[in-house]
Chain A
Amino acid sequence: MVKPTYTRREFLGTTAVAGAGLLLASCSPDSGQKPATSKGVLSNLNVALIGCGAEGQVLLESLLVIEGIKLVAIVDVWKYNRESNIRRIKAQGVEVNGYENYEDLLAHEKDLQAVVVATPDFWHAPITNACLKAGLHVYCEKMMSNTIEGARSMVQTMRETGKLLQIGHQRRSNPRYIFALNRLIHDAKICGRLTAAQAQWNRAVTEDFGWPKHSDMSAAELAKYGFKDMHQFRNWRWFKGLGGGPLSDLGAHQIDIFNWWLGSPAKTVMASGGVDYYQNHEWYDNAMVVYEYQLPHDSPIPTGIVRAFYQVQTTTSAGGGYFEMFMGDEGTIKMSENPSITKLYREDRAPAWDDLVAKNYLRTSATQPANDADKVDVRETAPLLQYDIPVTFAKKIHQPHLENFFNAIRGTAKLNCPADEAFASEYVIHKANEAIAARKILEISEEETKA
């Protein structure tokens, strides 16, 4: 359904009486959505976590605090990790079973409704497909797969089985992101016509992961699960055939925001990157990507071309941080999961934002550029006024996206990132790695981005 569009004045008129409280409430991750199924309400869901590495442990913490979720089992091929996580979970008063692999899980746990998959990328497709076919709903971390074919197979299995498949782009359920897109960009049109986007993730140099003495997997175990040795197992993100490197680990989240907020996948991609720093890695340690987007004809904001630059660095100071910035002819939104980095800037040519501030859709930043009427310094362009988004949420960052998944299973919400929608992002991210290797501009047709 095409969302109704408003002029700026109409938007304020429609919300003037309701005020900010209703406005914010309407931006909860599941608001305004119709049930995906008519199964009725399942108050308690039995869930298993497959893969308990760094990302799995982040998800685990949310799983343990969400009402109505019973974590019944965890799976990890590394005995050391599996047992230490079971100990941690039991210390919180939760009894869980542990399994080495998903086959054992499916063979023994007969009362599961859903699994959360957070294994290395190259295991996502086989595990997700098997679990969907076993009748389970699946939440799978991004990337969907280390190959386009793998990701496509997941969408196909989702359709064949009729089960839900949510992809872990958690910003899609973040109330601050939903508020910024729906209310500020679309309804209030604070950026005017979008012309550019920029996102980046900068990380400082880190050593490769090691492992404690006496915790090694045997050569046979490693080979069984597709790894050459323990170093490759612990650092799989850097190896081709296993993961997709920083563009897929970090970039996937942010490039997905490009697609989501601009309303369509990129039409072209050009990129540069390389293995310039870490000599024992296969994937690029740095990448700079330029996408070209065409806003769709039914976009709620004026349509046109948007060029989007993406940068991921793993060899720099982390001082640059991580954010996604959307720039238009009337204003800019700099978004981040970290609220302290989020800022909005108004161009002088834009209509005043005072009414938005008065209604608590925006908040004037505490720190503002000096505006002394009795003096003027002729040096450089004056800085823009800064604003903040007043929306916060008192939950773990991944929690709303998991809750959206579970509510969709219960039939009280619609998935915020179903696999078929995520596939378009998946496709253009794979294309960025391909563009680096090809060293040329790649065209992307809309048909290609559909699974």
Chain B
Amino acid sequence: MSEIHVFNRRAMATQFQVRIANEEKAYAQQAAQAAFALLDDLESKLSRFRANSEIAQIGELKVGEKLRLTEPVFACLNLARKMEFATRGAFSVTAAALRTQPTKPLWSLVDKEFTIRCDNGRLEFDLGAIGKGFALDRMATVLHEWSCSAYLLVAGGSSILAGEAPADSAGWSCGLGDDHSPRRHWLSQASLSGSGLAVKGKHIFDPRTGQPCSKHHRTWALADSAAESDALSTACMILEEPEIQEILRRNPAWLVFLNEEKTWQHLGSRTAPPLATSE
């Protein structure tokens, strides 16, 4: 197998990693630097902790006010809205807003103007369950511009996005759960995200009630886009299995793995990536 070059960057309160295969190290390093530059830029726009970020600016909007957004923020919120619809509200960027507001804030995106409008409440957005995946998707675009097609992008261990496989390999070996997971798959041209209670405890809120909620021990979602897998894995944590099945029937490109204490199952009609190790 060809040498894999690994580069790290701290961003979005976690560790990002770019792995590039089938390239010379110096070129791979420059490509990774370009991808990290984009990551830094996205963080400056999407972070609710940055005083001048667009997400912070959105939080200042009064009802009826609009704000023109940059393309990445508009695209990210557009995706967030689609994922909210697709998961029947189980994923939402205003998941925690009900803790501070009596009703769920409402907002609209105006396509022609590239603006967001505050329709009700205070738009306290938290892109924690989609922003990292979105960043991986955009970083992959940069790597393609640099003709680096064999890559693996990692966001804090919770989302990965795989490009083409390294030369002479069936894919990127990805474990479900941890580094020594007995269940590993060969991943290529797909994204895998995981959510669970092991690392951060009960940190997932049901956007529909504002209450902490978790129906499963751990969930993983497979999709073509990391933004989708990121949001979907979070949504699945608070969805019952029949609800997930229904969502997957409407979105056949998605696949979900559920891990209860000792049992595994995968839901959806998409073929699971080949196993890298026997179960």
Interface residues of A in 332-353 (CB under 8 A from B): 338-340
Task: Kindly specify which of A205-213, A378-386, A435-443 makes contact with the partner chain.
Answer: A205-213
- Considering the chains assembled together, what is the distance between the CA atoms of A212 and B113 in angstroms? 32
- A133 to nearest B CB, angstroms? 33
- Which residue of A84, A91, A396 is within 8 Å of B52 (Cβ)? A396
Task: Kindly specify which of B24-32, B211-219, B236-244 makes contact with the partner chain.
Answer: B24-32
- Considering the chains assembled together, what is the distance between the CA atoms of A209 and B36 in angstroms? 12
Interface residues of B in 60-112 (CB under 8 A from A): 60, 67-71, 74, 112
Is B57 an interface residue, CB under 8 A from the partner?
yes
- Considering the chains assembled together, what is the distance between the CA atoms of A403 and B69 in angstroms? 17
Is B168 an interface residue, CB under 8 A from the partner?
no
- Which residue of A65, A88, A207, A396 is within 8 Å of B30 (Cβ)? A207
Q: Is the CB of A213 within 8 A of B147?
A: yes
Q: Is the CB of B68 within 8 A of A65?
A: yes
Q: Is the CB of A91 within 8 A of B71?
A: yes
- Which residue of B30, B67, B69, B71 is within 8 Å of A210 (Cβ)? B30
- Considering the chains assembled together, what is the distance between the CA atoms of A54 and B52 in angstroms? 18
- Considering the chains assembled together, what is the distance between the CA atoms of A207 and B28 in angstroms? 11
Q: Is the CB of A394 within 8 A of B146?
A: no
Q: Is the CB of B51 within 8 A of A213?
A: no
- Which residue of A213, A338, A395 is within 8 Å of B57 (Cβ)? A395
- Which residue of B30, B51, B71 is within 8 Å of A339 (Cβ)? B51
Contacts A212-B145, A339-B51, A340-B51 given; indicate if A92 touches B71 (C-beta within 8 A).
yes
- B138 to nearest A CB, angstroms? 12
Q: Is the CB of A394 within 8 A of B57?
A: yes
- A216 to nearest B CB, angstroms? 13
The closest CB in chain B to the CB of A396 belongs to B52
Contacts A93-B114, A207-B29, A207-B33 given; indicate if A394 touches B71 (C-beta within 8 A).
no
Is A298 an interface residue, CB under 8 A from the partner?
no
Interface residues of B in 1-42 (CB under 8 A from A): 26-27, 29-31, 33-34, 37
Is B56 an interface residue, CB under 8 A from the partner?
yes
Kindly list chain A residues whose C-beta atoms are within 8 Å of the C-beta of B26: 210
Q: Interface residues of A: mostly helix, strand, loop or mixed?
A: loop
Q: Is the CB of A393 within 8 A of B52?
A: yes
- Considering the chains assembled together, what is the distance between the CA atoms of A98 and B129 in angstroms? 38
Q: Is the CB of B30 within 8 A of A214?
A: no
Contacts A61-B70, A64-B70, A65-B68 given; indicate if A210 touches B31 (C-beta within 8 A).
yes
Q: Contact mask A245-280 → B, CB, 8 Å, 1/0?
A: 000000000000000000000000000000000000
Kindly list chain B residues whose C-beta atoms are within 8 Å of the C-beta of A213: 27, 146-147
Q: Is the CB of A212 within 8 A of B147?
A: yes
Q: Contact mask A384-404 → B, CB, 8 Å, 1/0?
A: 000000001111110000000
The closest CB in chain A to the CB of B28 belongs to A210
Kindly list chain B residues whose C-beta atoms are within 8 Å of the C-beta of A339: 51
- Considering the chains assembled together, what is the distance between the CA atoms of A208 and B33 in angstroms? 9
- Considering the chains assembled together, what is the distance between the CA atoms of A91 and B78 in angstroms? 14
Q: Interface residues of B: mostly helix, strand, loop or mixed?
A: helix
- Considering the chains assembled together, what is the distance between the CA atoms of A214 and B37 in angstroms? 21
Contacts A212-B146, A212-B147 given; indicate if A392 touches B51 (C-beta within 8 A).
yes
- Considering the chains assembled together, what is the distance between the CA atoms of A84 and B142 in angstroms? 11
Kindly list chain A residues whose C-beta atoms are within 8 Å of the C-beta of B33: 206-207, 209-210
- Considering the chains assembled together, what is the distance between the CA atoms of A83 and B29 in angstroms? 24
- Considering the chains assembled together, what is the distance between the CA atoms of A392 and B147 in angstroms? 42
Contacts A92-B114, A214-B147, A394-B56 given; indicate if A64 touches B68 (C-beta within 8 A).
yes
Q: Contact mask B145-179 → A, CB, 8 Å, 1/0?
A: 11100000000000000000000000000000000
Kindly list chain A residues whose C-beta atoms are within 8 Å of the C-beta of B52: 393-397
Q: Is the CB of B147 within 8 A of A209?
A: no
The closest CB in chain B to the CB of A338 belongs to B51
Q: Is the CB of A210 within 8 A of B68?
A: no
- Considering the chains assembled together, what is the distance between the CA atoms of A84 and B144 in angstroms? 13
Kindly list chain B residues whose C-beta atoms are within 8 Å of the C-beta of A393: 52
Kindly list chain A residues whose C-beta atoms are within 8 Å of the C-beta of B51: 338-340, 392
Q: Contact mask A51-68 → B, CB, 8 Å, 1/0?
A: 000100000010011000
- Considering the chains assembled together, what is the distance between the CA atoms of A178 and B83 in angstroms? 42
Kindly list chain B residues whose C-beta atoms are within 8 Å of the C-beta of A54: 37
The closest CB in chain B to the CB of A80 belongs to B145
- Find the residue from A64, A207, A212, A395 having the highest chain B CB count within 10 A: A212
Interface residues of B in 120-145 (CB under 8 A from A): 145
- Considering the chains assembled together, what is the distance between the CA atoms of A123 and B57 in angstroms? 35
- Considering the chains assembled together, what is the distance between the CA atoms of A347 and B147 in angstroms? 58
- Other A-B pairs, 17, CB within 8 Å; known A64-B68, A207-B29, A210-B34: A54-B37, A65-B69, A65-B70, A91-B71, A92-B74, A92-B114, A93-B113, A210-B30, A210-B31, A211-B30, A212-B146, A339-B51, A393-B52, A394-B52, A394-B57, A395-B57, A397-B52
Q: Tell me the A residues contacting B by CB distance below 8 Å.
A: 54, 61, 64-65, 84, 88, 91-93, 206-214, 338-340, 392-397
23 contacts between A and B (CB under 8 A): A61-B70, A64-B68, A64-B70, A84-B145, A88-B71, A91-B71, A92-B71, A93-B114, A206-B33, A210-B26, A210-B30, A210-B33, A211-B30, A212-B34, A212-B147, A213-B146, A339-B51, A340-B51, A393-B52, A394-B52, A394-B56, A395-B52, A397-B52
Q: Tell me the B residues contacting A by CB distance below 8 Å.
A: 26-27, 29-31, 33-34, 37, 51-52, 56-57, 60, 67-71, 74, 112-114, 145-147
Q: Which 9 A-B pairs have the closest CB atoms?
A: A210-B30, A394-B57, A65-B68, A394-B60, A212-B146, A339-B51, A92-B71, A213-B147, A61-B70
